[in-house]
């Protein structure tokens, strides 16, 4: 996912910064604004310590499901520990840099928050997210390292997503067909 795998110390420092940011911008409020609903099936791609994953799991309720994906093994441990502490049985962790191993067209929403700028294979990630989202599923995007024009160029330029709306903190892109740049299609499921 990222150009480099960060050390455990680096990961913990990043998590501390994210936790401070989450106090100013509570994930629950961001997810409500993004349109998370009870019963949704959601992937939090690049979940880090799981602030958004935990909030999403609370919002989707027992009928919903959250998949928390990150390349770093500590992320899975942190999310699992937080889910256990809050007695949330609707979170599953995935350790990967791109492949989700999820069924095609099985998700209502993907959260792609503050990770896109650091991806070494953004086209592959967008193709995978397109594959797992239901038709008209939502890619909820935020990356404070990128400007609006960069975001639109990258995400809409893939040919996989179209801007659907915007809240205070996130962009919502709707999933289009399976075609991508130059008409490429992904057929694996």
Helix, strand, or coil here: 100? coil
The answer to whether 173 and 141 have CB atoms below 8 angstroms apart is: yes
| pLDDT confidence of residue 182 | 38
- What are the strands, taking DSSP E only, across 71-132? 91-95, 107-113
Q: In the chain, what are the domains?
A: 8-178 (3.40.50.150)
**Cα 136 versus chain centre, distance:** 16
- Report d(CA 152, CA 161) in Å as an integer: 10
pLDDT score of 2: 44
pLDDT at 20: 66
DSSP string over 144-183: TTS-HHHHHHHHHTTTSEEEEEE-SS-EEEEE--SB-GGG
- How many residues does the structure list for the chain? 189
Structure tokens at 17: 């910064």
Q: What local confidence, expressed as pLDDT, does residue 21 receive?
A: 74
d(CA 73, CA 69): 10
Euclidean distance between CA atoms 91 and 79, whole angstroms: 8
Q: Which residues of the chain have pLDDT under 70?
A: 1-5, 9-20, 22, 178-189
Per-residue pLDDT tens for 147-186? 999 999 999 999 999 999 999 899 999 998 765 443 344 3
């Amino acid at each position: 996912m990222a150009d480099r795998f960060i050390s455990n110390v680096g990961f913990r420092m990043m998590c501390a910064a994210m936790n401070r940011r989450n106090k100013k911008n509570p994930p629950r409020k961001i997810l409500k604004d993004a349109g998370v609903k009870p019963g949704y099936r959601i992937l939090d791609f690049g979940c880090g310590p799981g602030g958004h994953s935990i909030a999403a799991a609370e919002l989707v309720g027992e009928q919903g499901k959250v998949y928390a994906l990150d390349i770093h093994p500590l992320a899975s441990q942190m999310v699992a520990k937080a889910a256990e502490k809050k007695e949330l049985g609707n979170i599953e962790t995935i350790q990967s840099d791109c492949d989700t191993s999820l069924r095609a067209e099985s998700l209502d929403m993907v959260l792609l928050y503050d990770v896109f700028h650091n991806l070494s294979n953004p086209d592959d990630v967008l193709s995978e997210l397109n594959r797992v989202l239901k038709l008209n599923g939502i890619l909820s995007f935020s990356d404070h390292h990128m400007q609006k024009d960069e975001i639109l160029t990258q995400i809409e330029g893939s040919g996989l997503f179209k801007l659907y709306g915007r809240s205070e903190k996130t962009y919502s892109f709707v999933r289009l067909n399976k075609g991508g740049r130059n008409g490429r299609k992904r057929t694996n499921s």
